[in-house]
Structure 1
């Protein structure tokens, strides 16, 4: 598993993201998932940015998790592959009610789906897909009769589920709210004012890309939808996800390598290394210069410029896994000797 780090201070996460095999991602949800072929948009976006990924979905219109649990096809798909990520989208309106209602309508079925995922592969990363409020809220309740009020209720419900199961949240709904309130020229809603428009589904796919890969959208195509709108979605999504990475618990089972100093003049070449495998029995950083460290958070200085392969070996309930990432420190430029203008 490899990535190349070229820019000073760039922070890149890596887990199964840099495997030679494609990252296997399964989406489970309803029309908020399958509308406008959102998983396919995620697939195309990731591949356009040189990520190897295999994406499938189990999404049925108007389905709650209870309804999904009655579908043998869902569990057949769950058991069909050793998924790296499974994204679960609860039914939005179930999340606007109080905890007792969520405990009855959602929690048992979320648990059943999670148990099936864990039984198939204990190392699968399960992400909670937080959706958005309707354009004019849900009028049947006084406390959700506006977009912002419904959005906040959904966020609170999603956080309750995430806390219950110790899950990371993909904050689609909050990114959606950022765009709705600050960039109204981008129409995220379909004509029914509930479902996503095509570019709304692109925002969803972009949020998943930022949450899983934690990388910028530099180099992503901007020709599918209006270019300026796509650039705005890229910028807002990346900034929001990265600035809320801890609040959404998106560091789970990742590591970060940051090149903190690259100065050929002073011959200082330094990296910061942080791992977030909280259930690891042991871990070892190999810095590629015959030195190592067993600390979760550490830093290291190199004596010479060049390319170094940093390896992180993690031993946990999933077994022993080795992750690799390259860091590159350029050599100082060669100074040319001044030429003489003197005549012989």
Structure 2
């Protein structure tokens, strides 16, 4: 055997292994907190409901490509719906072999005090393991992440919570506990990062009379995320799914340019995402 052949074979094997890790089938399951703003006219995401894909999955796909990855990204989202809805009515669409799955429940669903009872909380707790069983039956090695959503300024403004910090504490507790109790890959701190952006003077909290920062991460309805909010979410998913540093992405990537982020703001949000990912202890 040629003396260089083993080295070449090892190099080829390493390349193929890396390529396999990058070329993953990724599914986002959720509602408007996943697909808004939609369409964003970027990304090549497949909408399993035959709609117009956008939002977080589309931005994530662009960031992944900018980071040298080659994922195949799909989404199954319906506005205002819970994980129970997706399990019961969209099962045929999502019952496939995925490498990565991101699950997002209704915005106030996991918080009992936000809904006047425990029905939605019980539904959340019951359907995370049901969905895990569904996906692991197709691929025992699937990695499942929970999408920790954000506190809603509109809910705070209506007096249902005193502050966005109070509402976020409930979401954090629910998502982190569900990830741990069901031995999932973990949870992605989107809502906590929104809160950190406000506390660090990067973004404004519409629920207060003060202007904490210049960036608008909530939409005009004080409910959904803005394009910038979706960009923050996508940065977090990029960092968590690939165990990568979002700061290494080009600050002038196609998504940042499309939503008209300045290079300075883009860098600040990449640093914020990295910082918040380091603070979350996964199961």
Pair in the same fold by TM > 0.5: yes
SS for the counterpart of 2:29 is strand
- In structure 2, the residue matched to 1:146 is 163
- In structure 2, the residue matched to 1:186 is 215
- In structure 2, the residue matched to 1:29 is 30
In angstroms, what is the RMSD of aligned CA positions? 2.3
- In structure 2, the residue matched to 1:323 is none
- Per-residue deviation, residues 288-319 of structure 1 (Å, max 9, x unmatched): xxxxxxxxxxxxxxxxxxxxxxxxxxxxxxxx
Q: Distance in 2 between matches of 1:175 and 1:17?
A: 30
How far 1:113 moved relative to its partner? Answer: 1.7
- Per-residue deviation, residues 44-96 of structure 1 (Å, max 9, x unmatched): 1100111111100001100011222231xx3233234x211101111120122
- Per-residue deviation, residues 106-130 of structure 1 (Å, max 9, x unmatched): 1222222222111111110011110
* C-alpha contact (below 8 Å) 1:137/1:145 kept by paired residues: no
How far 1:221 moved relative to its partner? Answer: 4.1
Question: Which structure shows the bigger proportion of residues in helix conformation?
Answer: 2
Q: Distance in 2 between matches of 1:191 and 1:100?
A: 30
- Per-residue deviation, residues 106-161 of structure 1 (Å, max 9, x unmatched): 1222222222111111110011110110125445665x232111111111111221
- In structure 2, the residue matched to 1:86 is 101
176-185 or 220-229, which deviates more: 220-229
Question: Which structure shows the bigger proportion of residues in strand conformation?
Answer: 1
- Cα 1:136–1:164 change in 2 (3 A) is same
TM-score normalized by the length of structure 1: 0.62
Determine which of 213, 222, 231 is the counterpart of 2:267: 231
* C-alpha contact (below 8 Å) 2:251/2:267 kept by paired residues: no
Determine which of 160, 181, 184 is the counterpart of 2:177: 160
Q: Distance in 2 between matches of 1:181 and 1:192?
A: 21
- In structure 1, the residue matched to 2:232 is 203
How far 1:202 moved relative to its partner? Answer: 0.6
- In structure 2, the residue matched to 1:49 is 67
Is 1:96–2:97 an aligned residue pair?
no
- Cα 1:193–1:21 change in 2 (3 A) is closer
Q: Distance in 2 between matches of 1:23 and 1:231?
A: 27
**Which residues of structure 1 form unaligned runs of 5+?**
4-15, 250-344
Q: Distance in 1 between matches of 2:18 and 2:240?
A: 12
- In structure 1, the residue matched to 2:92 is 76
**Which residues of structure 2 form unaligned runs of 5+?**
1-12, 38-53, 203-212
